Amino acid sequence: MKMIPSSPHDTNSSAERRFFDRLRAAFEQSKHSDRNAELTAFHSLNLTRHAYKRFGEIDFVILGPQGILVLEVKGGGIGCHDGVWYSTDRSGASHRLKESPFRQAESAMHGLRNRVEAALSRSICAQFVWGYGVVFPDCVWSASGAEWDRAMVADLCGVKNTERWLSGLFRYWHERDGRQREPATAQAVTQVARFLRPELDVGVPLHVTLDELEERVAALTEDQMDLLDIVDANPRVICTGGAGTGKTFLGLELARRWAGAGKQVLLACQSPWLKHWLEKRFAIAGVSVSVAKAAATTARRSGIEQFDALIVDEGQDLLNMDALDRLDRMLKGGLEQGRWCFFHDVNNQAGYFGPPDADALAMLESYSAARMPLKRNCRNTRQILSEVQSALGADMGVRGTGDGPEVLHREVETREDIAKLLATEIERLTGPAGLTPAEITILSPQPLRHSVFDFLPGKLAAKIVELDEFALRDFPPAQISFAEIANFKGLENEAVILVDLHREADVHRSVTDRYVGMSRARSLLITIDGNGASI
């Protein structure tokens, strides 16, 4: 059976984890001939970082042409005395349940059904039979009662043959439905799955601070969900996408899932800035973040010799034989036989660490690696996306996040003029009802002391903080931030002002600076170019 997610979310219930494995193995032998092989199981959300759990009371949702089932799993012993339900844990301690497991499953089914029917057309919803069941994997259930029929219960014996029980549960609810129905169409199943998948798999976007989690969350896009399916089916995957297509976010989601399945995961990158930011802001048990050259040291500090799985972010910076050799030694099975996902950008981001080695990429591809392009931009507004694509010819995906302010271009002759214009734009952006200083980052191809910073009024300069790799642990700061473009790879902010963008002798580096710098802005982008010889 297909599982979403591919490994169980963190849960304190060992019963859920064991039943997850039972469902995953179900119908494997009949997958080419039995309609039950088309079933998909959705495991309830139990993320440590998300704003809400839309169907948090549902342990499992089973979806297929036969219908939709809601399953409640209760581990340990189960009892009911004087109308009050109890569960008993391994130590023998009893815990009072808020309601009957059967009533809990039934109310969850009705809640889910109401949401699906409100979201999808009547012709789609009418194709499905709805039902629910309860799983008691640790006890033998022989009791009878008015709340349940025997077919609705999977006990210790029923769980051992999950296929038979689920097939019987579908038959039971079809008989209760009383109508002759054809199986739901593939289109109907797909529409319900697409409704459930984003809402049942919510993750944290990169720009959300820990204090904002209740206000801003992002669902995985369809492209990203497709990639998770591909990663589940292939031990080695090369994922390509332009800036803003969610590669880092998706890498974090994969790392969390693999670690949740008990793997020791290495998340490797080239930039110390990105490493420090990820390490601080997205600490995940079982996941070690490291720059590639320090992978061996990171493994020793984790008390292991090799990692079970590898995720590479900003991989275009690591497409050389030396870096890949380091990673190969740190991965069980090596790059040829191990489990890994390599995220990279084929555009202009590799100019800071030398051009990528075509032989290195060919070597990765030769290891039976599946290919997956990310096509949807989920960072930049339509205006920023269009500007980067038209000015640089870079493919940053399609659609974007919606409409935003127009991109502003300014051209001046001297650095003094750049500084004056920069001061004017900052004053405008931070005016009444404007942005907070934390939402503004100034990017330059030059270090702070070689940029226009020295030409700014002292009062404004005092409000700007220079970023370094350690300051990224608390990004964004309360002040307006400044960084070199090369160091800001993989990061982003609401508004970005690019300065010092005069022509350089190194044309490729100039294009790289513009691509990386412009794509860091989520909502508002301002470029201040110098076209005079005096700059």
276 has pLDDT over 70: yes
Cβ(24)–Cβ(1) under 8 Å? yes
Confidence of residue 242 (pLDDT cuts 50, 70, 90): confident
The arithmetic mean of pLDDT across residues 150-176, rounded, is 91
Whether a cis peptide bond, with omega within 30° of 0, leads into 405 is no
Task: Check residue 32 and report its DSSP letter.
Answer: T
Q: What is the pLDDT of residue 236?
A: 95
Q: Which residues pair with 309 in a beta bridge?
A: 265, 339
* 296-331 pLDDT per residue, tens: 999 999 999 999 999 999 999 899 999 999 999 999
The CA-based diameter of the chain, rounded to the nearest angstrom, is: 90
| 222 vs 82 pLDDT, higher one | 82
Confidence of residue 170 (pLDDT cuts 50, 70, 90): very high
347 has pLDDT over 80: no
22 has pLDDT over 70: yes
Nearest to 535 by CA among 411, 414, 452: 414
218 has pLDDT over 70: no
The arithmetic mean of pLDDT across residues 435-444, rounded, is 91
Q: What is the pLDDT of residue 506?
A: 55
Confidence of residue 507 (pLDDT cuts 50, 70, 90): low
Q: Which residues pair with 410 in a beta bridge?
A: 528
In angstroms, the CA 384 to CA 370 distance is 31
* 445-457 pLDDT per residue, tens: 988 888 888 888 8
In angstroms, the CA 314 to CA 248 distance is 8
* 47-84 pLDDT per residue, tens: 323 333 334 568 899 999 999 999 999 888 888 887 78
Q: What is the pLDDT of residue 268?
A: 96
| 429 vs 265 pLDDT, higher one | 265
Confidence of residue 34 (pLDDT cuts 50, 70, 90): low
Q: Write down the pTM of the prediction.
A: 0.64
Nearest to 463 by CA among 428, 426, 433: 426
437 phi and psi angles, rounded to 5 deg? -55, -35
- Please, where are the H alpha helices in 46-139? 101-119, 122-125
Per the prediction, the chain carries an average pLDDT of 82
| Domains of the chain listed by start with CATH number | 2-199 (no CATH), 204-373 (3.40.50.300), 382-530 (3.40.50.300)
Q: What is the pLDDT of residue 362?
A: 93
Q: What is the pLDDT of residue 43?
A: 83
Nearest to 260 by CA among 89, 45, 432: 45
In angstroms, the CA 42 to CA 59 distance is 8
501 has pLDDT over 70: yes
Cβ(396)–Cβ(389) under 8 Å? yes
Which own/partner pairs from 389-393 qualify as long-range (CB within 8 Å, at least 24 positions apart)? 391/514, 391/518, 392/347, 392/348, 392/511, 392/514, 392/515, 392/518
206 has pLDDT over 70: no
